[in-house]
Amino acid sequence: MANNNLTSNLQAISDALPEAIKQALDNCGVIVENDAKEKCPVDTGTLRRSIKHKTKKTKVTIGTNVEYAIPVHEGHGSYTGSKFLEKALYENWDKIKEQFEGLLEERCDIE
């Protein structure tokens, strides 16, 4: 009986894990994207609106395709840069970790 429960529990974990990880990564992407938009300097709003996240199976990418994003982020000339993406990631690290805590317990009916 115990072996059947172990096998059943391992199967439940195996079935739930990929989708649970993707959902947690997507949640992280939303957190960082929203904070990066708040931290992004605004002139016309184009850069802020262009910040997006994309989630694949095992990774999330947050960024922009606006060509002047790198100089705004990193700095150029006398402008020191705002590091809006970097700050959004590091300042939300605890929220990001929370997305993965208890991941399996929420998704699996483990006996």
So what's the pLDDT on residue 95?
96
Higher pLDDT, 4 or 71: 71
Task: State what percent of residues in the chain have pLDDT above 90.
Answer: 66
pLDDT of residue 1 exceeding 60, the answer is no
Q: What's residue 102's pLDDT?
A: 72
> Comparing 45-49, 54-58, 81-85, 100-104, which segment has the lowest mean pLDDT?
100-104
pLDDT of residue 110: 52
What is d(CA 68, CA 74) in angstroms, rounded to the nearest whole number? 10
What does the pLDDT average to over 1-20?
Answer: 73
* Contact predicate 24/99, CB 8 Å: yes
CA torsion through residues 25, 30, 33, 35, sign: negative
Q: What is the pLDDT of residues 11-62, one digit of tens each?
A: 777 777 888 899 999 999 999 999 999 999 999 999 999 999 999 989 999 9
Percent of the chain with pLDDT over 70: 89
Distance CA 28, CA 22 (A): 10
Q: How far apart are CA 50 and CA 11, in angstroms?
A: 41
